[in-house]
Amino acid sequence: MSLLYKEESYLLRGAIYEVYQELGHGYVEMVYQSCLEQELATRDIPFHTQKRYPLRYKGILLKHEFVPDLLCFDKILVELKAVKVLTAEHRAQVMNYLKVTELKLGLLVNFGHYPGVEIERIVL
């Protein structure tokens, strides 16, 4: 079985590692997001920031929306964290985003981990 979006994932991982190499751990999530956006732009990786997706319950449009951190290549959702430990709730968040967006791959990225950034692939 081949890896889903292998080349795109490789490019994203390179940008993520570069941000961590420059900053290390200890910053808040929005700092990492700003730096990653800059790195993605520098590498000509297409992305959207905090694209809004409507949420429905039994066919009824809710006032709440899902807002993932990044959508890259129009097919890979990237959710950023800056926490000591990723939890089941973080993984569930990405799974829910994938369901709502009908995307197949999410990257859960934790810049708060020491001694290195964590990147988890979550496939729907």
Domain-embedded: residue 27: yes
Q: What is the pLDDT along the chain (124 residues), one digit of tens a residue?
A: 689 999 999 999 999 999 999 999 899 999 999 999 999 999 999 999 988 888 888 989 999 888 899 999 999 999 999 999 999 999 999 999 999 899 999 999 999 998 999 999 999 9
**Residue 113 in domain:** yes
> Is residue 34 situated within a structural domain?
yes
66 in any annotated domain: yes
What's residue 74's pLDDT? Answer: 96
Task: Identify the domain containing residue 55 by its residue range.
Answer: 6-123
Residue 98 belongs to some domain of the structure = yes
1 occurs within a structural domain: no
The count of domains in the chain is 1
Residue 30 domain-assigned (yes or no)? yes
What the block records as the tokens of 97 is 């985003």
Question: Can you give the three-state secondary structure of the chain, one letter per residue?
Answer: CCCCCHHHHHHHHHHHHHHHHHHCCCCCHHHHHHHHHHHHHHCCCCEEECCCEEEEECCEEEEEEECCCEEECCCEEEEEECCCCCCHHHHHHHHHHHHHHCCCEEEEEECCCCCCCEEEEEEC
Asked if residue 75 is part of any domain, the answer here is yes
Interval 46-75: pLDDT, tens: 999 988 888 888 989 999 888 899 999 999
| CATH classification at residue 86 | 3.90.320.10
Bridge partners (DSSP) listed for residue 82: none
